[in-house]
Amino acid sequence: FQYPEYQLFEDTVYKDIAFGPKNMGLSEEEIDRRVKEAALFVGLKPHHMEKSPFELSGGQKRRVAIAGVIAMSPEVLILDEPTAGLDPKGRERILGQILEYHREQKKTILLVSHSMEDVAKYTEKVLVMNHGKVAMFDEVEKVFSRSREIEAMGLAVPQVSRVFLSLSEKGWPVPANVYTVDQAKTVLEKILKQGGSANA
């Protein structure tokens, strides 16, 4: 998904999304149903369907590519850097839709990403590769609790994790296991309500 335009080739958005289901030998009615459901799911409007995919923005092209895969209803969806090159709003939209798809359809999603912020916010388990070998595979919290090992492999933990780990190491009364901005907000609000001490 780093270059969604390489995956799009039909002359309309509808045909592009329909390509996979059509090659699966599905009936026209089933293809139409899947195309419309997938397009709606990723937030494409009916007026997009007859446009050329090459007239769309980068984020819209990404959604067309994702809709084309979703329309085939795979058991496992593997996404390689699905938000590369998108602005923050586009990133949130795409990842939110992927998470919603996972929750609604109960499908397995493998997200390949160098953004540890995205990994912390949107995943349940993390597999860390180092020199072609599995270095870690565990729940998000357990993997990010090994931040020094992760950094030694050339990866970065989420920025908020680095801040809280540094504060904890300097003796500040904050937990070191904070991985998302939402978690940080909750911890800081609790500290402020308790008069400035995380242990009060």
Q: What pLDDT is stored for residue 169 in this prediction? A: 86
Instruction: Provide the percentage of residues in the chain whose pLDDT is more than 70.
Output: 95
Residues 6+ apart with CB under 8 A from 85: 2, 58
Q: To which H or E segment does residue 116 belong?
A: helix 116-122
Which comes out higher in pLDDT, residue 188 or 3?
Answer: 188
Assess whether pLDDT exceeds 80 at residue 196: no
Tokens of 162: 């680095």
Q: What is the pTM of this model?
A: 0.75
Nearest to 44 by CA among 23, 27, 24, 68: 68
User: Rounded CA gap, 130 and 170, in Å?
Assistant: 30
Nearest to 42 by CA among 10, 20, 67: 67
- DSSP state letter for 134: E
Assess whether pLDDT exceeds 50 at residue 4: yes
pLDDT band at 191; cut points 50, 70, 90: confident
User: Rounded CA gap, 139 and 185, in Å?
Assistant: 21
Domains observed in the chain: 4-112 (3.40.50.300)
Mean pLDDT of 153-159: 89
Per-residue pLDDT reduced to its tens digit, 18-76: 999 999 999 999 999 999 999 998 889 999 999 999 999 888 898 899 999 999 999 99
Residue owning tokens 């007859």: 50
In the chain, count of helices (H) and strands (E)? 9, 4
Q: Is 197 helix (H, G, I), strand (E, B) or coil?
A: coil
Per-residue pLDDT reduced to its tens digit, 5-33: 788 999 999 999 999 999 999 999 999 99
pLDDT band at 200; cut points 50, 70, 90: very low
Assess whether pLDDT exceeds 90 at residue 174: no
Q: What is the dihedral of CA 163, 169, 171, 173, to 10 degrees?
A: 50
Supply the mean pLDDT for the chain.
89
Assess whether pLDDT exceeds 60 at residue 198: no
Distance, first Cα to last Cα, the chain: 47
